[in-house]
Amino acid sequence: MTQTKRLLLSAAALSMIALSPLAASAQSAQSPDERADAAVKAMTQAEKLQMVFGYFSTNATWMSGGTKNFIFPKDGLADSAGYVPGIARLGIPAQWETDAGVGVATQRSPTPRLRTALPSGLATSATWNPESAFAGGAMIGNEAKLSGFNVQLAGGMDLVREPRNGRNFEYSGEDPLLAGVITGNEIKGIQSNHIVSTMKHYAFNAQETNRFTIDVKINDKAARESDLLAFQFAYEIGKPASVMCAYNRVNGAYSCENDWLLNQVLKTDWGFKGYVMSDWGATHSTVAAANAGLDQESGWAFDKSPYFAAALNEAVNNGHVSQARLDDMAKRVVWALYATGAVDDPVKGDQSATIDWAGHAKTTQTDSEESLVLLKNTGLLPLARTAKKIVVIGGHADFGVLSGGGSSQVYAVGAKRFDNEGPDGFPGPLTYYASSPLKGIQARTKANVVYNDGKDPKAAAKAAQGADVVIVFATQWTGESIDAPDLSLPDNQDALINAVAKANKKTVVVLETGGPVLMPWLANVGAVVEAWYPGTSGGEAIARVLTGEVNPSGRLPVTFPASLDQTPRPKLDGDPKLDDDAHPHSDYDIEGAAIGYKWFDKKGLKPLFPFGYGLSYSTFATSGLSASADGKGARVSVTVKNTGKTAGSTVTQVYVAPASDAGWEAPKRLGAFAKTALNAGESKTLSLSVDPRLLATYDSASKTWTVKGGDYKVMTGNSATDITATATVHIDPQTLNVQGK
């Protein structure tokens, strides 16, 4: 059969092909493009409209009835994020959508599905290990698929412009390369299950305060060199079949009706062939949104009106939206289903009984173990085998570990909310996973390990007296829709730590936080471990790191400021909250592309802990750094050696900088990185490549990346502020197209 004939198949023939396994494999010789074209040709207008309109999929009473006439979609999966009906006669499956980036979430429900949770996205970024990100993505995608979902709303990665952002835990840190590589690999892992992954929240959704209304201002150049570069890297690596536009406005237009973000950058410049879905409640119009590049309205009845239902039909009929555009919208949706394999390898309903729980527990535990960052250690860690009495205090460490709140909340076996902790409503329940660090420590030591809940600092200090070592667990719960009020640990925990440290100098602090926090007690304690939200096996992971079964190898993916005054916006814009109809503004041109360590570098500020920082129980050295021009970028060679007595992993961080001013946003950028496992005494020579865009500046007028000819410094560092060696490389002037080629 010729290609032309295939494309001209009637709708009836197409439906027969889709139903016959033999014919289906013959048909898949066609490209996703050809298949999507044929499918759209075979669709009625009503079926095209059906493809671009999604329903929220929960029985929640607040959604049903009322003026919006929300009806639970009959074939939707209970208490999940969304549902788009399929077209059986064309073999197009329904889209069953689930949140989110750390696993299969459930909307607030008395009977949530219980699944495995990865550590937070920020934690996975702290592994600096693309393989961990891929493995985690593959695992949660598998649970999604076996739960009957073929669209996973994961891939969150707005850069950390605001350390108080309540959703930083869902994202991947402050650097475009690190965030892009980690998120891209997570997406790739999810889609390896033949389901769709999203990339979100596109774009500049860096704070939750006034998230539905805030208008973010940023110029094209700075945007392309920062958040958009992160999304571009993730897109190139992970090829997400869907992108979710954000709630906020960008340069005056809502993200979901933003021609610049959707039509120009994403679809034209990067060549994105999948579909843009709106965030839940982020569609604000019919004509403007469809023409600006939104392909699918999500989660009805979150929006004020069903913009992409009858109103879109009318807009097409009266010519405000072209028929070609509606065809393109429908095509993009089905293209995603063909391209990922969601059509050929369909979900088979609830197969969760076949989930490999033990294997998945190991995946999340490994991810967590690699993500723990040892921030300070005067020798208290790993815990001495000679210790006779260990006192563990606070953080519900006798029960488990904290998780982040909101739509991404994964519920797990044994997880619980403690009375009166966290809000009764969204983004609660404040949930702890049943993986107890206390029990993990007890199982690994001969010492007498006792627990104090830390509620009364005086009692805790008393309990700490005379112990060989004291471990305080401190928590900061963050969640969607609310930003942290400041960077301090809540609930008087700073006072608790100070009281305990005063009673016993041998105090270790383990932090379970959404992102950076201040540590006014730092000088008084002997060791600090940042454990983030460590996932459903997090207690085991923490215990293994504290006892030395695992050598810590995480590095900070985000700068920990010494105070909010050091950040671009000491006071959150739009705070206090305004009415929904007001439009608070935030000027991201203040820092532009100089986010995180770049801002600190540029301003000469000394953070509490720098980006890239993290200690080990071993020591590592680098030698033989050299760099050469390679294609349009650079290649770096360096030897890393484990100079200590303990096996472990190190993260090689390569920073790049022009030898003379090249108009960069900041003195230096992360140019490449690698995580390497090394036995004691072992060394390895690494060859790393620096993407030319990381040596370039973006020119908005010509839509090109320009690498200025001249010398560049290539540096290895233990962090953004601790450079260990510098080499120089000469790069000839280069001009790259908008895709960096």
The set of catalytic residues is: 279
Name the minimum Å distance from CB 299 to ligand BGC.
Answer: 6
Nearest CB to ligand BGC, comparing residues 281 and 644: 281
Does residue 81 belong to the site contacting ligand BGC (CB under 6 A)? yes
Please name the residues in contact with 504: beta carbons below 8 A apart, sequence gap of 6 or more.
Answer: 391, 464, 465, 466, 467, 470
* C-beta of residue 470 within 8 angstroms of C-beta of residue 499: no
Q: Which residues pair with 509 in a beta bridge?
A: 472, 528
CB nearer to ligand BGC: give 279 or 530: 279
Residue closer to ligand BGC by CB (options 254, 451) is: 254
Give Cα 585 to chain centroid, integer Å: 25
Tokens 């390497």 locate to 676
Cβ contact 394:476 at 8 Å: no
Q: How far is CA 318 from CA 2, 273, 278, 315, 321, in A?
A: 37, 27, 24, 5, 8
Binding pattern for the stretch 192-231 against ligand BGC, x by CB under 6 A and - elsewhere: --------x-------------------------------
> How many residues bind ligand BGC, per CB under 6 A?
9
Residue 384, Cβ density class (10 Å: 0-12 exposed, 13-18 middle, ≥19 buried) = middle
Shortest reach from residue 670's CB to ligand BGC, in Å: 27
CA distance 706 to 735: 5
- In the bound state with ligand BGC, the residue whose beta carbon lies nearer, of 100 and 531, is 100
Instruction: Name which of 279 and 691 has its Cβ closer to ligand BGC.
Output: 279
Q: Which of residues 592-621 bind ligand BGC (CB under 6 A)?
A: none
Q: Residue 731: beta bridge partners? A: 710
Q: Which of 17, 84, 100, 412 binds ligand BGC (CB under 6 A)?
A: 100
- Min. distance of Cβ 556 from ligand BGC in angstroms? 24
Preceding amide of 427 cis, omega within 30: yes
Nearer to ligand BGC, 167 or 396 (CB): 167
**Cβ closest to ligand BGC, residue 100 vs residue 355:** 100
Residue count (the chain): 741
Query: Is 476 a binder of ligand BGC (CB under 6 A)?
Result: no
- Quick check: 516 and 487 in contact, CB under 8 A? yes
Q: Residue 99 CB, nearest distance to ligand BGC (Å)?
A: 5
Least distance between ligand BGC and beta carbon 126 (Å): 21
CA dist., res. 324 & res. 316, Å (int): 9
Nearest CB to ligand BGC, comparing residues 99 and 540: 99
Going across the sheet that includes 585-587, the strands are 253-254, 249-250, 215-217, 585-587
Cβ atoms of 654 and 716 within 8 Å: the answer is yes
CB contact at 8 A, 250 and 261: yes
Taking the CA of residue 126 as centre, how many other CA atoms within 13 Å lie in the half-sphere pointing to its CB?
39
Work out how close the CB of 407 gets to ligand BGC at its nearest, in angstroms, rounded to a whole number. Answer: 4
481 or 697: whose CB is closer to ligand BGC? 481
* Residue 72 C-beta: closest distance to ligand BGC, Å: 15
> Which residues, 142 to 181, sit near ligand BGC by CB under 6 A?
153
C-alpha to C-alpha distance for 117 and 66, rounded to whole angstroms: 35
CA distance 71 to 63: 8
**Least spacing, CB of residue 12 vs ligand BGC, in Å:** 36
Edge-to-edge strands, sheet with 469-475: 373-377, 527-530, 507-512, 469-475, 389-393, 448-452
For position 279 contacting ligand BGC by CB under 6 A, the verdict is: yes
Select from 407, 478, 649, 734 the one that contacts ligand BGC (CB under 6 A). 407
- Residue nearer to ligand BGC on the CB measure, 209 or 618: 209
Shortest separation between residue 711's beta carbon and ligand BGC, angstroms: 44
- The rounded distance, in Å, linking the Cα atoms of 467 and 391 is 6
Place of tokens 């510098």: 726
Q: Contacts with ligand BGC in 299-328 (CB under 6 A)?
A: 299
Q: Is 486 helix (H, G, I), strand (E, B) or coil?
A: coil
How far CA 209 is from CA of 215, 481, 482, 564, 567, in Å, comes to 12, 7, 6, 16, 17
Q: If binding is defined by CB under 6 A, does position 280 make contact with ligand BGC? A: yes
> Beta partners for 637?
626, 687
Cβ neighbours for 685, distance < 8 A, ≥ 6 positions apart: 624, 637, 638, 639
CB 280 to ligand BGC: min, Å: 4
Q: Name the burial class of residue 435, with classes exposed (0-12), middle (13-18) and buried (19+) by CB atoms within 10 angstroms of its CB.
A: buried
Q: Point out which residues bind ligand BGC (CB under 6 A).
A: 81, 99-100, 153, 200, 279-280, 299, 407
